[in-house]
Every structure is written in structure tokens, then in C-alpha cells.
């Protein structure tokens, strides 16, 4: 088995890391591994060298469904001009202490 | 409200703005009393620190030799991390030796200016690996033994040794896990990988008996509750190795101990000469240089 064939057997995994002071896992990069357990170890070796995080999630890149750049306009542009969807649009009268 | 989102209000960031996610460093020897404990000879403590420090230094060097030869990029980073962990332990232990025997020699003096008979590492650390399977077998044996040793040393009477052992336990736990995972993968892979793994174990088995022999220095330190009795590590070592090999469907090779394996006394194999030539050549060529 030559090197290219061997590498194609190792699928791509996306790595998400949560820092000690964070609430959410943030995407930090990707790596190749034979399976999910090995991907976790590789993520520990590659992405936590500088005390970046305390929790690792790895997801096979094939399992991720992403929006395509072609759909950018219909998906995201309509929300740009609807100011009434922001809470700050509405004035709360001073006589209403809590809402 | 002073924050754009609720998340910011809850997760207050500290002043470490330079790092993407990292939150600063912790010195493992912060606030540790560095005086030599009573009833323990400084020379003995220094000799013991040199023994376990040299194990880490030489093993680290052999791991570093894998850095452009590892099978995958991720394995290369993993081996580099393991080598750096061991080098960090070696630095602290060699510095402790210089402080304990009163000579004031620093870690560079010990690592780069000692001659071959003055090194006290076990033969297991200095042999070369035939291939990745050989490396994994050697790393598993070394890490299992070292973890058992450092675990005992966490309760040593010398505070510095105990602090280094506490830091080392967390590191070597990962090294042992890494080697065990790879042993299982290689043994459960193809016929070829299994054969290489078996050959790796066969190369390492004769060097294992030396890990559990006791020197006179260690006997005196065990009496002073600073060192760990090597023979007492055997039970844990056997239990872990048997567990991993059973899962892999392999057996520990039945081979006699190598009588030439006497590194603790300063008698080293031919491989050590090449290793020290590479490690020390620059320092010896430019004496007194700093970099």
C-alpha cells in the first residue's frame, strides 16, 4: 500500500475545542485519523499544546452539512434589513419597571 | 447593558489578550522547599536524580530521532510532545542533582559535558529502534515502568522530587496510553503490522530485568524514604503489560535477561557512544558558548 492510498484511508476530522474560560466549543482546525478515538488523541497532540483547552470534540468532516456559498444571498441577505427583529428597536416606557 | 451578548457577561476574559485560548503558565516548582531533607546524603540524592534524569534525557533523545521519520504528521507531533515532556523532567532532575550534591553544576553541564561512564540511565533508554513497532514496544515498557516509579515518588520526602514526580505522573500517563493504543492497533492490523509488533516486543524483553534491580545508592535512599524500591514496581508493571497484551492477543516473549544491560553502573552499549556524540558535539566544539 503506497503512501497516498494509506492517507486516503484516514478520513478528515474537524476539531472543536473549549477553553477553560469558555462556554462553547470553537473550531480550531482539522486533522486526519483512522477513527474517532485516534482523532481525539491526535487533536490532543496537535491543538492543545499551548494550554488552549479543557474539552475536545472531533466530528468527521463527512458528517458535517454546510451551507454552500452559492446560497449566500437567499439564505442570509433577507435578515439584513429587518430592524424590527432586534430588541433594541422597541422603546420601553419609563413607567414600566420590568418587562 | 455593557455587553453585546449574554455570553460575554458570563464568561469574563482575563487580561491574557495575547493568546487565542491559552490562559498562562504554572511553574511546577513554585513555592517548593529546595533544601535537602535530613538524614539523606546530598551525594546520594544527586546520584538518584541523575539516574532517573538520565533515563528521561536519553529516552527523549531517541524519540527526537524519530522526528523526520514518523509514519504520519500527527504521530510526529505526538512523539515530539512525548520527547519534550521527558526532556522537561530531565531538566528539573539534573538541576536538582547539581543543587543536592553542592557542586552547583547546572543541567547543561550534566547533559552536555559528562562522559559516557558517568551517565546512569538504563540500557532500555539508549537502544535504537528498528522500526515504529520497536519504538512502540520500547515506549510502552518505559512508560509503564516510569509511571509506576513516579507514582511512588510522589510521596518522597524530598519536596522537589515529589513535585517533579507529581508533574511527571500526568505526562507519563498519556505516554503509556499512547503506546498502548498503538500496540493494540498494530497487533490488530495486518499480518505484517502484527509481525513487526511481535518483533518489537522481542527486542525489548531482555532489557526489562534491569529496570527492577536495586543499587546501593537506592537502598540508602529507600531507608531515608526518598527513593522507590525498584522490585516493588514489578507487580504493577506486570499487571498493566499483561492487560494490554491480553487485549492485543499477544504474549510477553520468554527471553532471558541481557547480562550486559548494566546502565545504572555506567556500563553502556555501543549505541550510547553515537548518541552522546550527536548530543554533545556542538557543546564540546564551542566550550563556554551560550545559545
CATH, residue A57: 3.10.20.520
Residue A77 belongs to a domain: no
Q: Is A27 on the interface with B (CB under 8 A)?
A: no
pLDDT of residue A55: 94
Residue A92 belongs to a domain: no
Span B212-249, pLDDT tens digits: 999 999 999 999 899 999 999 999 999 999 999 999 99
Residue A8 belongs to a domain: yes
pTM of the model: 0.88
Query: In which domain, by residue range, is A31 found?
Result: 3-66
Domain assignments of chain B as residue spans, ordered by start: 38-278
Q: Is B81 on the interface with A (CB under 8 A)?
A: yes
Distances (CA, A) of B129 to B120, B135, B179, B224: 20, 5, 14, 37
Nearest to A45 among B12, B25, B74 (CB): B74
The Cα of B73 is separated from the nearest Cα of chain A by a number of Å equal to: 9
Contact A22 B185 (CB under 8 A): no
Residue A58 belongs to a domain: yes
Which homologous superfamily does the CATH classification assign to the domain defined by B38-278? Ferritin, core subunit, four-helix bundle (1.20.1260.10)
Q: Tell me how many domains chain A contains.
A: 1
Q: Is A34 on the interface with B (CB under 8 A)?
A: yes
- Name chain A contacts of B13, Cβ cutoff 8 Å: 21
Cell 503506546, residue located: B179
Residue in chain A nearest B19 by alpha carbon:
A52
Residue A35 belongs to a domain: yes
Nearest to A41 among B20, B22, B181 (CB): B181
pLDDT of residue B23: 57
Residue A22 belongs to a domain: yes
Contact B227, B221 (CB under 8 A): yes
Mean pLDDT of A6-17: 84
**At residue A2, does pLDDT exceed 80?**
no
**At residue B6, does pLDDT exceed 80?**
no
Span B252-282, pLDDT tens digits: 998 888 887 788 989 999 999 999 999 999 9
- Name chain A contacts of B178, Cβ cutoff 8 Å: 41
CA B101/CA B42 separation, integer angstroms:
5
What is the full DSSP assignment across B149-200? HHHHHTT-SSHHHHHHHHHHHHHHHHHHHHHHHHHHHHHTS-HHHHHHHHHH
ipTM of the complex: 0.80
In chain B, which among 119-178 make CB contacts under 8 A with chain A? 174, 178
Mean pLDDT of B75-94: 96
Can you name the residues that pair with A27 across neighbouring β-strands? A16
C-alpha cell, B14: 482575563
The Cα of A39 is separated from the nearest Cα of chain B by a number of Å equal to: 9
Amino acid at each position: 500500500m503506497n503512501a497516498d492510498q494509506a492517507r486516503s484511508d484516514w478520513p478528515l476530522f474537524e476539531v472543536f475545542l473549549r477553553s477553560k474560560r469558555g462556554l462553547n466549543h470553537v473550531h480550531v482546525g482539522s486533522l486526519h485519523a483512522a477513527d474517532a478515538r485516534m482523532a481525539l488523541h491526535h487533536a490532543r497532540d496537535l491543538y492543545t499544546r499551548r494550554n488552549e483547552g479543557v474539552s475536545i470534540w472531533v466530528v468527521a468532516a463527512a458528517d458535517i452539512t454546510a451551507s454552500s456559498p452559492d446560497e449566500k444571498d437567499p439564505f442570509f441577505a433577507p435578515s439584513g434589513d429587518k430592524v424590527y427583529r432586534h430588541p433594541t428597536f422597541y422603546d420601553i416606557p419609563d413607567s414600566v419597571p420590568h418587562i | 447593558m455593557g455587553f453585546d451578548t449574554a455570553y460575554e457577561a458570563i464568561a469574563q476574559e482575563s487580561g491574557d489578550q495575547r493568546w487565542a485560548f491559552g490562559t498562562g503558565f504554572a511553574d511546577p516548582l513554585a513555592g517548593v522547599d529546595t533544601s535537602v531533607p535530613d538524614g539523606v546524603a546530598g551525594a546520594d540524592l544527586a546520584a538518584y536524580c541523575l539516574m532517573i534524569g538520565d533515563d528521561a534525557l536519553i529516552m527523549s533523545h531517541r524519540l527526537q530521532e524519530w522526528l523526520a521519520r514518523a509514519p504520519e504528521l500527527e504521530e510526529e507531533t505526538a512523539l515530539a510532545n512525548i520527547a519534550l515532556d521527558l526532556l522537561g523532567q530531565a531538566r528539573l532532575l539534573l538541576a536538582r542533582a547539581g543543587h543536592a550534591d553542592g557542586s552547583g553544576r547546572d543541567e547543561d553541564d550534566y547533559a552536555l559535558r559528562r562522559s559516557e561512564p558517568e551517565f546512569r540511565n538504563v540500557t532500555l533508554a539508549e537502544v535504537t529502534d528498528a522500526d515504529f513497532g520497536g519504538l512502540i514496544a520500547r515506549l510502552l515498557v518505559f512508560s509503564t515502568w516510569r509511571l509506576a516509579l513516579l507514582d511512588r515518588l510522589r510521596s518522597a520526602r524530598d519536596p522537589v522530587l515529589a513535585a517533579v514526580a507529581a508533574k511527571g505522573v500526568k505526562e507519563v500517563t498519556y505516554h503509556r496510553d499512547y503506546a498502548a493504543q498503538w500496540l493494540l492497533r498494530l497487533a490488530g492490523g495486518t499480518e505484517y503490522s502484527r509481525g513487526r509488533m511481535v518483533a518489537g516486543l522481542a527486542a525489548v524483553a531482555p532489557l526489562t530485568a534491569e529496570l527492577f534491580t536495586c543499587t546501593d545508592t537506592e537502598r540508602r535512599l529507600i531507608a531515608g524514604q526518598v527513593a522507590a524500591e525498584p522490585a516493588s514496581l514489578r507487580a504493577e508493571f506486570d499487571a498493566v503489560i499483561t492487560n494490554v497484551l491480553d487485549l492485543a492477543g499477544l504474549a510477553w516473549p520468554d527471553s532471558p535477561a541481557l547480562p550486559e544491560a548494566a546502565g545504572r553502573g555506567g556500563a553502556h552499549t555501543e549505541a550510547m557512544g553515537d548518541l552522546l556524540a550527536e548530543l554533545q558535539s556542538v557543546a564540546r566544539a564551542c566550550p563556554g558558548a551560550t545559545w
